[in-house]
Amino acid sequence: MSSTDPAPAADHHLLGAADIRELAAAFGVKPTKQRGQNFVIDGNTVRRIVRAGGVTAEDSVVEVGPGLGSLTLALLEVAAHVTAVEIDPLLARHLPTTVASRMPEKAKDFDLVLSDAMEVTELPGPAPTALVANLPYNVAVPVLLHMLQTFPSIERTLVMVQSEVADRLAAKPGNKVYGVPSVKANWYAEVKRAGAIGRNVFWPAPNVDSGLVSLIRRDPPKTSASRAEVFAVVDAAFAQRRKTLRAALAGWAGSPAGAEQALAAAGIDHKLRGEMLTVEQFAAIAEHKPEAQK
């Protein structure tokens, strides 16, 4: 079925291309590039995202950037509860009405939070066990990391992001796109690519391809260093990613010699670059920061 075919009768509550355009016109919604608004217009795609996220009837799901509700409705088909976080007041005002009209039996299992996701520190309803979202491309990584840090109850995450961002998040050490997002995401979870999404399932169609990323929560590395201390090393190492670790970490350690000392104590060759290190190795470096710099 193409993205413009009418949905089968069993899918009457999901939003197709015509539904999305009708709702947008009725609400006076004009998608903006500033907020990365591209609405999914294909029921098969949102159900695929829900399946890829491993959502079950026991899950309480948090969704960031629900827009007109395409993915929200597909999540409500399966999950016990869905909380959507929306920054756009116009979209936020109308989404509960869309849920109530299309899935009245699930309206009681839906909550909406009008907020910038980066400022959310608590959510209504049960603690979220899953994060499933079509994240705005321009803020995808900081939003993802903020949600994982703020809500440790999130066990599984499935996000749709720009394809290049998906590659960076899922990259392994030694890969040319391995960097800060890769390492920091690995602090929280096992990360892998979970598929690709074409441009024709969106309205308006973006000028980039999208990718799905799966993150399964795991314990952070065993280390005496705090998350903030480890992330400071990561940021320093990739701020000058073409330099060796001895040079790149000089500012963090107070001097090149201090960086070499910390690296030696962590058992890491000072001639390596940050792109070769695992999150566990960055944690080991953080543990050996020269005393004068702590």
Residue closest to 194 by CA, chosen among 53, 19, 26, 86: 53
Q: Is 86 annotated as a binding residue?
A: yes
CA angle 91-47-81, nearest 5°? 60
Task: Decide if 40 contacts 19 (C-beta within 8 A).
Answer: no
109 is in an annotated binding site: no
- On whether 22 is known to bind a ligand per the annotation, the reply is no
Single-letter residue type at 77: E
Check whether 190 is labelled as a binding-site residue.
no
What are 206's two structure tokens? 């973006």
Q: Does residue 134 have a known ligand-binding role? A: yes
Q: Which residues contact 107 (CB under 8 A, 6 or more apart)?
A: 96, 99, 100
Q: If residue 263 lies in a helix (H) or strand (E), which one and from where to where?
A: helix 256-265
Q: Is 61 helix (H, G, I), strand (E, B) or coil?
A: strand
- DSSP SS3 for 221: coil
Rounded distance between C-alpha atoms, residue 149 and residue 119, angstroms: 12
Positions at the binding site: 38, 40, 65, 86, 116, 134
Positions at the binding site for S-adenosyl-L-methionine: 38, 40, 65, 86, 116, 134
